[in-house]
């Protein structure tokens, strides 16, 4: 951008060479009015507010997650709820064809143990029996509340009918 004083000096030189005095005064006044209009339009608080409002409407809102929430890849955007498995212990070997799965979570939570659907009692306790196949058995326990918050635990129980305990 050319400095205003240099531009004005150049304009005066051009006008002095090519035009009559009355035409020069008219053009100088016209340029001054145009300059004032352009300056006030760009610095007018109401036009700045309008520009800010337009920019805000075009921005995508950012949704922030709570800093205190504990999240995993399976439940992004959801808070985990309490889930404890009391039995069986993970990675045990048993000679029994079934195992009792017992634990605690929040009261009245929905609990899924593999394909079995349960409901925790008023204290958050739940239990069920899972039949085992010979070899490694994966047991997945999921607890969820009515708000969609959930927790998941996975266990491996190995059934070996020849194992002595």
Buried b (16+ CB within 10 A) or exposed e, 38-71: eeeeeeeeeeeeeeeeeeeeeeeeeeeeeeeeee
Beta bridge pairs of residue 1: none
Lowest average pLDDT, out of 2-16, 24-38, 85-99, 128-142, goes to 2-16
**pTM, rounded to two decimals:** 0.52
Q: Is 106 within 8 Å of 82 (Cβ atoms)?
A: yes
Q: Band of the pLDDT at 33, cuts 50, 70, 90?
A: low
Q: What is the pLDDT of residue 82?
A: 94
- Annotate 24-39 with DSSP letters as a single string: HHHHHHHHHHHHHHHH
Q: What is the pLDDT of residue 71?
A: 37
């Amino acid at each position: 951008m050319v400095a205003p004083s240099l531009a004005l000096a150049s304009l005066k030189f051009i006008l002095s060479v090519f035009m009559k005095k009355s035409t020069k005064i008219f053009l100088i006044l016209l340029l001054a009015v145009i300059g004032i209009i352009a300056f006030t339009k760009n610095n007018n608080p109401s036009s700045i507010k309008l520009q800010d409002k337009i920019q805000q409407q075009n921005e995508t809102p950012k949704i922030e997650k709570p800093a205190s929430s504990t999240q995993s890849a399976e439940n992004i955007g959801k808070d985990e709820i309490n889930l404890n498995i009391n039995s069986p212990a993970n990675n045990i070997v048993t000679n029994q064809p079934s195992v009792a799965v017992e634990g605690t979570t929040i009261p009245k939570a929905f609990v899924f143990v593999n394909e079995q659907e349960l409901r925790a009692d008023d204290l958050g306790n739940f239990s069920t029996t899972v039949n085992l196949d010979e070899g490694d058995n994966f047991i997945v326990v999921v607890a969820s509340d009515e708000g969609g918050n959930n927790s998941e635990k996975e266990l491996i129980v190995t059934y070996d009918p020849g194992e002595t305990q």
